[in-house]
């Protein structure tokens, strides 16, 4: 039999729904953003976010980036569009560069923005910044909007959003990542 008694600490260690709800609450009055506008949010590394070395766990970093990406999606109008069309938002790839440790109880500023898009994906960058101005880590995401038939093109989504626009020029470093990832075998060799 499954034990349905879940304590508060167990809930906090799982996906941070409470923290996500808090971010939506904190940013509820923030104005709309342009498609490539930057959403800025503040976060704390809590004890349940750390690893054995008492610093932000690398996997938890990716989860915390959701706390910036989803309010960003709301501010550009995407959350309402997803609900209206019964679409979903998914991640199709990520590359993270870690440079500075984030210690327990340390505050970071997260910056999240869409950089460009192609015929299938939107490329987003996110970063966490320490109080001293140093960038702790930086992530490049490949994101897709999907429906039950597969990928909804960014062109279709932007038209539905009432913001049809060509993509900004793809920065060289993102183009190089896209090209390198295209060389990666799929399915992976075992």
pLDDT, residue 53, reads 93
What mean pLDDT comes out for the span 46-58?
A: 94
With beta carbons less than 8 A apart as the criterion, state whether 50 and 104 touch. Answer: yes
Q: In terms of Cα–Cα distance, which of 152, 139, 157, 129 is closest to 35?
A: 157
- Exposure pattern of 149-187 as b/e (b: 16+ CB <10 Å)? eebbebbebbebbeeeeebeebeeebeebbeeeeeeeee
pLDDT, residue 88, reads 96
The backbone torsions φ and ψ at residue 29, rounded to the nearest 5 degrees and listed phi first, read: -100, 0
What mean pLDDT comes out for the span 140-161?
A: 96
With beta carbons less than 8 A apart as the criterion, state whether 147 and 85 touch. Answer: yes
pLDDT level of residue 190 (50, 70, 90 thresholds): confident
pLDDT, residue 38, reads 98
Identify the H or E element spanning 147: strand 135-147
Return d(Cα 164, Cα 66) in angstroms, integer: 25
Q: In terms of Cα–Cα distance, which of 74, 93, 83 is closest to 23?
A: 74
Peptide bond into 187 cis (omega under 30): yes
Three-state secondary-structure class, residue 94: strand
Which of 20-24, 30-34, 133-137, 144-148 has the weakest average pLDDT? Answer: 20-24
What mean pLDDT comes out for the span 23-47?
A: 95
pLDDT level of residue 16 (50, 70, 90 thresholds): confident
Which structure tokens are listed for 6?
């879940």
Residue 65 has pLDDT above 90, yes or no: yes
More confident residue, 9 or 58: 58
**All domains of the chain in start order, with CATH:** 14-21+32-180 (3.10.129.10)
Residue 9 has pLDDT above 60, yes or no: no
């Amino acid at each position: 039999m499954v034990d349905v008694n879940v304590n508060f600490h167990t809930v906090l260690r799982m996906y941070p729904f409470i923290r996500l709800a808090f971010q939506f609450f904190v940013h509820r009055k923030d104005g709309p953003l342009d498609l490539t506008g930057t959403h800025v949010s503040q976060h704390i590394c809590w004890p349940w976010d750390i690893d054995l070395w008492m610093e932000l766990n690398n996997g938890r970093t990716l989860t915390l980036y959701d706390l910036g990406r989803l309010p960003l999606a709301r501010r550009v109008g995407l959350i309402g569009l997803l609900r209206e069309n019964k679409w979903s938002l998914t991640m199709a790839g990520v590359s993270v560069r870690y440079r500075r440790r984030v210690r327990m109880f340390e505050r970071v500023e997260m910056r999240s923005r869409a950089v460009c898009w192609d015929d299938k994906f939107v490329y987003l960058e996110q970063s966490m910044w320490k109080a001293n101005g140093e960038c702790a880590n930086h992530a490049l995401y490949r994101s897709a909007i999907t429906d039950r038939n597969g990928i909804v093109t960014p062109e279709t989504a932007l038209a539905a959003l009432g913001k049809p626009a060509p993509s900004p020029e793809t920065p060289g470093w993102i183009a190089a990542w896209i090209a390198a990832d295209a060389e990666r075998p799929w399915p992976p060799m075992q």
